[in-house]
Structure 1
Amino acid sequence: MTSFGFPISRIDPASNKVEQQFVGEGGDALRVGAGSVWLSNLKAGVVWRLDPKRIQATLAE
């Protein structure tokens, strides 16, 4: 999945409404694992670790 220019959204399954969105530089790949959502951006040379409960991004080290 390539997600340049599109937000990553957290949707409440009970109400089916968007609760929160992460808008960043975009990325080349989106994966789920180890309790997190991972977004990479090869052009920028970074990987973000997203907390799926808060949609808060941190750079992976």
Structure 2
Amino acid sequence: MSKILISACLLGYGVRYDAQSKRYDPRFSLLMDAGLLLPVCPEVDGGLSVPRLPAEIVGGDGVDVV
């Protein structure tokens, strides 16, 4: 059966820049227990540390493509 990629921070993993997670939605438990969710954190998988300084675009006008 196919798995669903989901951001690890939405499942309660403390992988955000501030080492916190987003609020865990208990409805994910059923899918997690069934082995249908695959938690990923692209920032951590890309080599960023936890915790880390927050990243933001400074001096841009919203039209720039990064």
TM-score, structure 1 as length reference: 0.25
TM-score, structure 2 as length reference: 0.24
Looking at both structures, which has the greater relative contact order when contacts are Cα pairs under 8 Å and sequence separation is at least 6? 2
Of Structure 1 and Structure 2, the greater helix share is in: 2
State the structure with more CA Rg.
2
Of Structure 1 and Structure 2, the greater strand share is in: 1
